[in-house]
Amino acid sequence: MIRYAVDHGVNYIDSAYFYHRAIANLLSVWRCRWVPRKGQDCHQLPCIEVKSAADFDRLLNEQLKKLQVQKIDFYLLHGLNAAEWPKVRDLGVLKWRRERLRTGRIGHLGFSFHDEYKVFQEIIDAYDKWTLCQIQ
């Protein structure tokens, strides 16, 4: 399906943390055709798996290794809601992202959202450079 999609013009693929094993080999096959066409891939930091600030790098490094890449184009904080947002915010995810963007390990930062509008507004107001938001 991924090959068909790329062959027919899809230029963005989103993959959550728990799907990496299933698509890692496929990604390595189509990436040689994808990147020259300016394709972008998107992966997500599983906020539910974050217990300490060290987990930000642990999970990113694990994803880069599984995907066999040096950079993730769009990196989303996955599943932000009233419980997960304060946790990752207080652990310093916005400070952490600054260095990962600077060094090029991630290209853009966004988030996926699963809650009420007031929580969404709080997240939006916390950072003025979100690139992408997926809303469930």
Q: How many domains does the chain have?
A: 1
pTM here is 0.79
* CATH code of the domain in which 27 resides: 3.20.20.100
In this prediction, residues 64-83 reach a mean pLDDT of 89
Range of the domain at 48: 2-135
DSSP for 32-45 reads HHHGGGT-EEEEEE
pLDDT for 92-124, tens place per residue?
999 999 999 999 999 999 999 999 999 999 999
Query: pLDDT tens for residues 25-53?
Result: 566 555 555 444 455 667 889 999 999 99
Greatest alpha-carbon span in the chain? 42
Contact 48, 79 (CB under 8 A): yes
At 72 the pLDDT is 87
Crossing angle for the helix pair 54-67 and 93-102, to the nearest 10 degrees: 40
Q: Tokens in use for 98?
A: 């600054």
